[in-house]
Amino acid sequence: MTATLIPATLAFREDGTPFSPTFGDVYHSPSGAFEQADFVFLKGNDLPERWQKQRIFTVLETGFGLGVNFLTTWAAWRADPARCERLHFVSVEKHPFAREDLRAVLATVTAQAPRSEFAALAQQLAQAWPMLVPGTHRLEFEGGRVTLTLTFGDAVEALPKMWLRADAIYLDGFAPAKNPELWSPAIFKALARVAGEGATFATWSSAGDVKRALEQNGFEFRKTPGFSGKWAMLTGRFAPRWRVRRYEPPMPMPLAERHAVVIGAGLAGSALVERLAARGWRVTLLERHSAPAFEASGNPAGVFHPLISRDDSSASRITRAGFLYALQRWAALDALGHAPTRSHAGLLHLATDDESRAVSAALASFGYPNEFVHGVDREQAQALAGVELAQGGWFYPLGGAIDPASLCRAQIAAASAYSGAQVETRYGVPVGKLERNGDAWQVFDDKGTLITQAGAVIFANAHDAARAAALDFAPTRSVRGQLTLVDESTLAALRVPVIGDGYAVPLDGGVTLAGATYEVDDTNLDLRAPGHVENLERVALMLPELAAAAEPSTGWRGRVALRCVASDRMPMIGQLGDETAARQDAQRLSGAWPLDLPRTPGLYGAFAFGSRGLVWAALGAELIASQLEGEPWPLERELAEQIDPARFLQRALRQRSL
């Protein structure tokens, strides 16, 4: 179970310096927050000189606090004409401030800043500040050129789960005597796992335990005069004289040209096109149908919401991260003038079975903020829904429904509009097979004609992905889902989507979308009367007024689509395993972990999203783009391994079934 977040308490000392009652220490030197950040962390890591003329530069920080180090780094990047193309700043915070408290404390701190621009940057940070739920949050600034990856949680637990290659390390936090866990050997061991070759570090602390931990984990240090008369601080670099880690941190994929082929223009494929184009990639999108979002992504509406479980399972954590990241990406599309069609009034989840009733009863103990989710009784739920309901449950204020096709079109349009974008969309092109040619993959159609070639190919074509990628260890199945459209009923007053044992979504014109059937291994696309009856009966258990709805003389309207699901109900996102190489080395790999597995160079997958494509697609696209670029991953490595397409290959190796 993920620990409940305890927010920081807003407090100040008599001299106006922000202070933590929890740790009994100040957040920065009374001589100046931004001056201290510049002296200790930027100059201590030879910045901005070290990031100049680099494409990507990554800073890792051990304690975010007020965000002063991030703001100082961001301001230095903005002021540097020779700056790196993309700046990543990764940090962890056990006790984050609530948004309004952060806004208030930064207003006080920036009032004393040496430059006026810090106030404007602080406002942007406060505006983008995530809600206080555990896990990793990805925030983008400067059109994505400055990315803040922020993990809310205990650094001792969070840092070992991060996956990145750090170029500079900011060792910050409350004093070792006040917060010894943040300076413990486990922290320095985690830093040694992700420090890049030649990575530097800096810290204001020169405590003996800190120096010993640095040396034990492969860091060289030197003492220099500290800030504002402080006797000493430490700077240095990662230069191990012996092997200190099993795996090397991620590197960008070596490519002659950053060109990727994306196969499939549904939710997964269109998100990939947008995320890659935003990074300046040339993208060729191939779709066998005549337009995007032709299959399951073409349903009239889909619901989006997190997943709440009593044990905060991996599925819940991944879905929470995907939901929050999707909201950010959709807001960015809105700002670019490519707004998808979606609702903004929230979503109700009714407690319709024993498991959901147990979740509802335990919801208050999870400590989630009300803006994320809160429980509602039957009367409160009815007031939100505008119709009679059979029970209460919980409410997601930021959940809702979206037109998936409008989202796909918005992402492709946004990708094509980026400065320097090179996006080619080719519809009506079925992919038959791939062949390796040197360092590139050649893509052929179903008649054997060469379509295109590129160093990277990403399969986002659901049911066809395993076939086209020639995967044996990708146990996916087709699930038939039939929707029902209800015209002119008492449910026309429904204000928000309602889910539980089925779902009901209000559409324009008083139409209600009810669904959906779940028929495994049934690929028939014909509408069936029993499917409509099943949909309406299940939804009527939640919305009793639907029981009185009369069947139209022409019969119920609806739509059938096929979902692609893996046997464990988790998506397949990331680099594909090399099954041929694994077979040849099966004995050695019998105890393999995901990072031990051989991978097929340049082949990736984003498929088997089931019914959660709306909340998984954007995060999955960001993860694959990060893997291609060697950037920090947007979620914890252990969660990425839960959705790794090679996980079934790993299980086969461990079971010695190869």
Domains in the chain: ranges and CATH = 19-238 (3.40.50.150), 259-295+405-473+570-654 (3.50.50.60), 347-397+477-566 (3.30.9.10)
Nearest-5° Cα angle at 369, 366 to 375: 65
Locate tokens 């009374």: which residue? 30
Q: Which residues lie across from 137 on neighbouring strands?
A: 150
Indicate whether 550 pLDDT > 70: yes
pLDDT digits (tens, 9 = 90+) for 365-419: 889 999 999 999 999 999 999 999 999 999 999 999 999 999 999 999 999 999 8
DSSP 8-state symbol, 53: T
Q: Which two tokens stand for residue 393?
A: 């449950």
Tell me which of 124-128, 461-465, 611-615, 628-632 is least confident. 461-465
User: What is the Cα–Cα distance from 321 to 325, expressed in whole angstroms?
Assistant: 6
Q: Which helix (H) or strand (E) holds 373?
A: none
At residue 294's C-alpha, the angle toward residues 477 and 572, to 5°, is 35
According to the model, what pLDDT value does residue 1 have?
60
pLDDT at 315 over 90: yes
Residue 609 has pLDDT above 90, yes or no: yes
pLDDT of res. 529: 94
3-class DSSP state of 613: helix
Please state, in angstroms and as integers, the Cα–Cα distance from residue 68 to each residue in 73, 102, 135, 181, following that order.
8, 11, 21, 22
Neighbours of 282 (CB within 10 A): 17
User: Tokens 């409509």 label which residue?
Assistant: 532
Closest CA to 421 of 340, 339, 338: 338
- CB–CB of 85/45 below 8 Å? no
Hey, which bits of 104-145 come out as E strands?
A: 135-141
Task: Average the pLDDT over 210-223 and give the result.
Answer: 95
Find the length of the chain.
658
**Count of CB atoms within 10 A of residue 438's CB?**
9
pLDDT in tens, 470-524: 899 999 999 999 999 998 778 889 999 999 999 999 999 999 999 899 999 999 9
Q: Which of 188, 168, 201, 219 is nearest to 56 (CA)?
A: 168
Structure tokens at 539: 């939804």
Mean pLDDT of the chain: 94
What is the C-alpha separation between 607 and 571, in angstroms, rounded?
Answer: 6
CA–CA gap between residue 78 and residue 14 (Å, rounded): 34
Interval 16-29 mean pLDDT: 91
Please list, in sequence order, all residues whose beta carbon lies within 8 angstroms of the beta carbon of residue 86, skipping any fewer than 6 positions away. 55, 56, 57, 144, 145, 146, 147, 279, 631
